[in-house]
Structure 1
């Protein structure tokens, strides 16, 4: 047998071997960071300070092209926890209630991710903070730390204060937090998780930790703002005429009530908004660091899978808006890092992979890594081949939907968007990473349009 084949088999053995007995099942630390786009040091965005996410990425695999299945918190998280597209859950509401997700998926003969690990692997399930739209149904958890509030600034009467933006359609606002950092929801969530990691657990566990920042309002302590100088902040790529070749259905995904880039420029607020987002990212990163430090100091450090993800991306001035909700790259792209115990790592494990993956792949990946029987009800695919070798062939596109049935399809080069009214967009990311030139009507790209439509027809789930 040739040496490369021997190495490959050894890598597979390392991934499979430790998972065969009950006592050796890996623990899972599952960290969700709300509304985090792809701005982080490990991704090459040197302005934003994310030392803790950077160190996690350095010892794991990070996915440069991971995509959400719905560019809004509740639906995206429901998809992550069920490995189903949101429309399969047939929710009458966009921001679906936690219990609805549990009841619906069980009526389909499946289970949410943590329930599946509990039922098939004997896992102890613990959660704090935002995992689904609110938290998680308590009846599926062994322990819950609950979830706190959004930590708005308050006046002397305890009422929310908006400093720079006041709209009933969004929580968007930016200002230094006027309370104590230790009283903030994410601080309490981190402390709860740290305490769980200091305890003895007789069973393998899944510890889920959901941090609220950098979700709006961008209210975090002043010290995080002080890490950034607005005048030194680089602005994202933006063109005033960017939307001229976008169909009406695409422009309609830009929400009323949210700041516009043209307004932010005129009012000298753009860099201040980004400063607040940077500050909120670094605040969240510090809480991630507290949990990672606790894991490293615990007896579980060498037998715990760590997954860090966010529910979608976020526009910070691109496309003349500051929001999620769209089918463009800035909103559909989402961070994903998977760090394995040393005993499970493959030959080419650490570092970046450019393969296109979906957040609904997290569920079957964890089931696979934990050595449990596959759930044949899920849509996602195990990412284990990419954890063994991050350069492995993959070939699956990612689909992102909106409630009206509009859908975006992303492969390793192109983004194709098909709106519910039949209008389309096509972007070539090799030559146009900012998605400034819609090629859908360009006859030179008719073959690409046909190919992307075929991928949509092949991979879409009714």
Structure 2
């Protein structure tokens, strides 16, 4: 009888111990920070916490900047949305994956690509480590590969809403049908109400989910469509920017005279408005006005997200990261587009906020969007993912570590790279031709110093940072919008 009683006590103690251990694990899991992951399409550095261009009105970007750390010199790994987002979500460089162009979301990870065939996407890594994952809007090139999120709000197709007829630009410009793609580039006040914008609906989706209860930490992705063209938002956002007060960015008509032929091929975008056309037609200020209006609209929607977070039970235990997939040229270097290895196309906002991070801090050292994946893992207390090619920015944010050695690499097609270090940008094209810009004297990158003997040693040093791996184009990755990339893929892949 005594033995039976003792056995019963031991069994009770064992069950009690197991339950306590389980509760402890559940408590630790719930105490991990949530992640709010915000992507803004085509957003350059004109926002008020960074450049404050032409008195742009973006108070909620300012608000987020005060909550955490702003990187004023962050650069994308490709100046094009598809490969830029694929790089960020895989943690791999375009030169490693061969994803230099647009790749269907479901084709990024596939048996035919040795680099990505077994890669774990950023949201999946969080799910594997006990997170509930959710996403809405444009996060990968379209939305997301199937089953990447536990909950998906999807994405409205395209970049509408669209009026029945374009306001200004026909989408072809001087481009040749069948040779050059048609662009969504256009600008004007449309539609009548913010509630008709897909981004408004995406924020509604996020707001509703921030009001729910979760038994585990969450990873929530929100992808804004604006400020991607067409530059359509309701009239009230245009009214904030009277045309007479609009500034236009620096421009030099003979700026491209010292650019190598490959650089000129890449910059050949006849379907886009040219700066000379915009000047002659009187549309330049109107395009800038429309871009600023779109910025202020996105800022408003960001404010709605921050309000929802602050009013939720998750306000004090959520890491927020906001980023863009590339910069955008608004007349610089002769056109209105991303599509380049120059500063205005590769530089984009990057902001972090969350528990234990400094508040209101700005870092001017060059960093990479590739660092978002490992940074979020460290901020969330998750194990390092050994496949990541980027470096965590936590030590830089908290202790200013690595500022002097910081650099960023951008790739546009196979073997075309830009290296950004403090004070310089070096570009090397596939044929070995080069550009070098000294930002201390030439912030607009108007003078190519690649042939200046004074910088020979600097160039040799910068060359050592070029990617050692440069794989051929992935078979599922294409960029038919630009003839140069169509020809390059055929040539290097032997098609």
Q: TM-score, normalised by structure 2?
A: 0.84
- Given candidates 113, 119, 129, the residue that maps to 1:110 is 119
The residue number in structure 2 matching 1:64 is 72
What CA distance in whole angstroms lies between the structure 2 residues aligned with 1:369 and 1:188?
Answer: 29
The residue number in structure 2 matching 1:303 is 317
What CA distance in whole angstroms lies between the structure 1 residues aligned with 2:225 and 2:439?
Answer: 31
1:43 offset after TM fit, Å? 1.2
- Given candidates 446, 449, 456, the residue that maps to 1:439 is 449
- Given candidates 14, 34, 46, the residue that maps to 1:27 is 34
The residue number in structure 2 matching 1:79 is 87
What CA distance in whole angstroms lies between the structure 2 residues aligned with 1:44 and 1:402?
Answer: 25
Matched, 1:97 2:111: no
Matched, 1:128 2:136: yes
What CA distance in whole angstroms lies between the structure 2 residues aligned with 1:394 and 1:306?
Answer: 26
The residue number in structure 1 matching 2:251 is 238
The residue number in structure 2 matching 1:154 is 163
The residue number in structure 1 matching 2:170 is 166
Q: Closer, same or farther in 2 for the Cα pair 1:114/1:298, shift >3 Å?
A: same
Count of aligned pairs between the two proteins: 432
What CA distance in whole angstroms lies between the structure 2 residues aligned with 1:251 and 1:286?
Answer: 38
Q: Aligned to 2:232, what secondary structure does the other structure show?
A: strand
Q: TM-score, normalised by structure 1?
A: 0.90
Q: Deviations over 1:271-318 (max 9, x none)?
A: 000000000111111111111110000000000000000000000011
Q: Which runs of 4+ in 1 moved over 6 A?
A: none
The residue number in structure 2 matching 1:45 is 52
- Contact kept? 1:230, 1:272, Cα under 8 Å: yes
- Given candidates 143, 150, 157, the residue that maps to 1:142 is 150
Q: Deviations over 1:369-416 (max 9, x none)?
A: 111111111100011101212465451321111113211011111100
Matched, 1:345 2:357: yes
Q: Which structure is larger by alpha-carbon Rg, 1 or 2?
A: 2
- Contact kept? 2:41, 2:225, Cα under 8 Å: yes
- Contact kept? 1:152, 1:217, Cα under 8 Å: no
Q: Deviations over 1:27-52 (max 9, x none)?
A: 00000000000001111415111111
1:23 offset after TM fit, Å? 2.5
- Contact kept? 1:408, 1:415, Cα under 8 Å: yes
1:105 offset after TM fit, Å? 8.3
1:137 offset after TM fit, Å? 2.0
Q: Aligned to 1:325, what secondary structure does the other structure show?
A: coil
1:460 offset after TM fit, Å? 6.0
What CA distance in whole angstroms lies between the structure 2 residues aligned with 1:77 and 1:70?
Answer: 9
Matched, 1:455 2:465: yes
Q: Aligned to 1:21, what secondary structure does the other structure show?
A: helix
Matched, 1:331 2:353: no
What CA distance in whole angstroms lies between the structure 2 residues aligned with 1:392 and 1:447?
Answer: 22
What CA distance in whole angstroms lies between the structure 1 residues aligned with 2:32 and 2:323?
Answer: 22
Matched, 1:360 2:370: yes
The residue number in structure 1 matching 2:295 is 281
What CA distance in whole angstroms lies between the structure 1 residues aligned with 2:109 and 2:296?
Answer: 33
What CA distance in whole angstroms lies between the structure 2 residues aligned with 1:88 and 1:51?
Answer: 39
The residue number in structure 1 matching 2:379 is 369
- Contact kept? 2:366, 2:407, Cα under 8 Å: yes
Q: Aligned to 1:42, what secondary structure does the other structure show?
A: coil
Q: Closer, same or farther in 2 for the Cα pair 1:334/1:296, shift >3 Å?
A: same
Q: Aligned to 2:287, what secondary structure does the other structure show?
A: helix
The residue number in structure 1 matching 2:277 is 263
What CA distance in whole angstroms lies between the structure 2 residues aligned with 1:142 and 1:363?
Answer: 19
1:88 offset after TM fit, Å? 2.5
Matched, 1:189 2:223: no
Report 1:204-219 matches (<5 A): 204-219=217-232
The residue number in structure 2 matching 1:294 is 308
What CA distance in whole angstroms lies between the structure 2 residues aligned with 1:265 and 1:96?
Answer: 35
1:180 offset after TM fit, Å? 3.4
- Given candidates 397, 407, 410, the residue that maps to 1:387 is 397
What CA distance in whole angstroms lies between the structure 2 residues aligned with 1:20 and 1:392?
Answer: 35
Q: Aligned to 1:126, what secondary structure does the other structure show?
A: strand
- Given candidates 248, 251, 265, the residue that maps to 2:261 is 248
